[in-house]
């Protein structure tokens, strides 16, 4: 005999509360395991593909982890320090750029830029604020990434966790499936498949898009000689998961820097603008349709809300789990809405339910 719905809701609610409390207290300790699990989840399809071509699971996992470690060493040794150096230099140079902008506006629009005018004071204060706070922000980001646990432990534990989880991923999924409540196993599997589809589309697909566009922007901007091109490209690629925002923010920043650096050299300025136009074409017509698909069910506003909420409550660990939790909640919400539209509570009478569109 199945448990009453009220008791089931109580038990699942308690389980969720316990999970959140554990995340609250053990967040710093769980960070390497969450990162390792995320890496294993992202790379599992690649391991499956290597298995299909004849490699045993342990060999496929070993190859993937070794290649990943090689890429990590290159990133930590070369790319990340360069981004940090350029970011710090950009923060230090920001007041100079704001002063140049203020002088240009004063020359062109003297009525708007009076000595004690609001716009003039605002530009000056903004430049000084960026200089004062920008360094602190960079230090906080680095501290959030590597200060939660010892950096050496983090670097050692994450690959080990990723290796063992990736090695045993299929067995873990099967064991979890065996523990599902038998009365609801079909429904749970259906919802889990939808969550996996959404996560696969967004995390794997959109993550790949961000990486490709960030690399394209950085390499192209450095090729045309733009100062701080690496950090501008990295920022544009990092926020590409928000439609149009990555290109708009990165393009505005790059073109603004190009105007200061290449003033009068309209060819170079046009090349910078063309890079972001090409990136938008590449993203909208090739990368996103191929790697992400037409819909992943994660609205950008919902995603930003989840990142903000979990980041403020649980810190960096919360930001890591925000995307999968947002995806799971979105899928569950669509499932509940679909059942609600089939119910008498929605229809109001005992008549056939309205057809539900796929994906709703």
Domain boundary among 265, 294, 323: 294
Please count the structural domains in the chain: 3
Torsion angle (degrees, nearest 10) of CA 153, 154, 157, 158: -170
162 and 31 co-located in one domain: yes
Whether the predicted pLDDT of 118 surpasses 70: no
Percent of the chain with pLDDT over 70: 69
Whether the predicted pLDDT of 183 surpasses 80: no
The residue with tokens 């690399």 is 215
Element (H, E) at 111: none
Contact 162, 36 (CB under 8 A): yes
Contact 348, 176 (CB under 8 A): no
72 and 31 co-located in one domain: yes
pLDDT digits (tens, 9 = 90+) for 212-244: 888 898 899 888 888 888 888 888 888 776 666
Residue 7, domain member (yes or no): no
Task: Report which of 280, 279, 258, 260 is spatially closest to residue 270, judged by C-alpha positions.
Answer: 258
98 and 234 co-located in one domain: no
- Taking the C-alpha atoms of residue 132 and residue 293, their distance in angstroms, rounded to an integer, is 42
Residue 116, domain member (yes or no): yes
148 and 260 co-located in one domain: no
Find the domain containing 60 and state its range.
Answer: 16-174
Residue 3, domain member (yes or no): no
119 and 210 co-located in one domain: no
Q: Give this prediction's pTM.
A: 0.64
Q: pLDDT band at residue 30, thresholds of 50, 70 and 90? A: confident
Q: What is the mean pLDDT of residues 315-341?
A: 78
């Amino acid at each position: 005999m199945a448990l009453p719905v009220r008791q089931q809701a109580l038990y699942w609610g308690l389980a969720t509360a316990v999970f959140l409390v554990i995340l609250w207290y053990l967040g710093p300790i769980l960070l390497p395991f969450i990162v390792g699990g995320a890496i294993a989840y992202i790379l599992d399809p690649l391991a499956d593909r290597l298995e299909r071509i004849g490699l045993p699971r342990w060999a496929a996992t070993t190859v993937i982890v070794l290649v990943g470690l090689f890429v990590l060493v290159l990133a930590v040794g070369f790319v990340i320090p360069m981004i940090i150096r350029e970011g710090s230099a950009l923060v230090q140079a920001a007041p100079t750029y704001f002063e140049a902008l203020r002088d240009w506006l004063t020359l062109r629009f003297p009525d708007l830029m009076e000595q004690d005018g609001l716009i003039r004071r605002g530009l000056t204060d903004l430049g000084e604020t960026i200089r004062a706070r920008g360094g602190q922000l960079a230090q906080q980001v680095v501290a959030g990434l590597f200060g939660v646990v010892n950096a050496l432990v983090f670097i050692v534990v994450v690959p080990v966790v990723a290796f063992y989880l990736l090695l045993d991923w299929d067995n873990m999924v099967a064991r979890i499936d065996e523990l599902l409540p038998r009365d609801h196993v079909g429904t749970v599997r259906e919802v889990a498949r939808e969550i996996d589809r959404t996560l696969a589309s967004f995390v794997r697909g959109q993550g790949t898009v961000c990486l490709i566009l960030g690399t394209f922007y950085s390499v192209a901007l450095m090729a045309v000689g733009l100062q701080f091109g690496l950090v501008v490209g990295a920022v544009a690629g990092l926020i590409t998961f928000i439609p149009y925002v990555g290109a708009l923010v990165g393009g505005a920043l790059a073109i603004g820097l190009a105007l200061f650096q290449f003033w009068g050299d309209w060819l170079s300025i046009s090349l910078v603008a063309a890079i972001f136009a090409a990136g938008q074409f590449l993203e909208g017509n090739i990368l996103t349709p191929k790697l992400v698909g037409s819909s992943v069910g994660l609205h950008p506003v919902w995603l930003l809300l989840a990142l903000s909420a979990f980041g403020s409550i649980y810190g960096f660990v919360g930001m890591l789990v925000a995307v999968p939790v947002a995806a799971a909640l979105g899928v569950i919400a669509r499932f509940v809405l679909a059942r609600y539209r089939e119910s008498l509570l929605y229809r109001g009478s005992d008549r056939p339910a309205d057809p539900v569109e796929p994906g709703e």
